[in-house]
Amino acid sequence: MAVQAEKVVSDFCGAWSKLNVEEIMSFFTDDAVYHNIPMPVAKGKDVIRKTIEGLLKGTKSIKFEILHSATAGNVVMNERVDSFDAGGKHVSLPVMGVFEITDGGKIKAWRDYFDLEMYMKQIR
């Protein structure tokens, strides 16, 4: 399970570079939870879709670079650098992600931890 779970997360992170909402959403269960901490939690695929569409609006490019990954059963933790170009700004942000993967290879929970102030300084 650990190898499969880590591949799901790696493929999911790679999918973001295509800026394709349908492909990104295909990784989630219908009742998934996405918490981009410190932002409000998004529960359910419809709410997650709206959140991701908001994140991608005006985005010209995005890359999730996985630096390190650790997996225990169906839980994958990764240290990443998320970089994107949106609204005429380039943002590069260290992120710690935690993913819970179902036995069927879908994301049922995703939590990202990052420094909101570091993000805000880059978009000002």
What is the C-alpha separation between 8 and 104, in angstroms, rounded? 10
Which one of the listed residues 31, 46, 85, 112 is annotated catalytic? 112
Q: Is 112 a known active-site residue?
A: yes
Taking every pair of Cα atoms in the chain, the longest distance, rounded to a whole number of angstroms, is 42
Q: How far apart, in whole angstroms, are the C-alpha atoms of residue 17 and residue 29?
A: 21
- Quick check: is 85 catalytic? no
Q: Out of 31, 46, 82, 85, which one is annotated catalytic?
A: 82
Active site residues: 82, 112
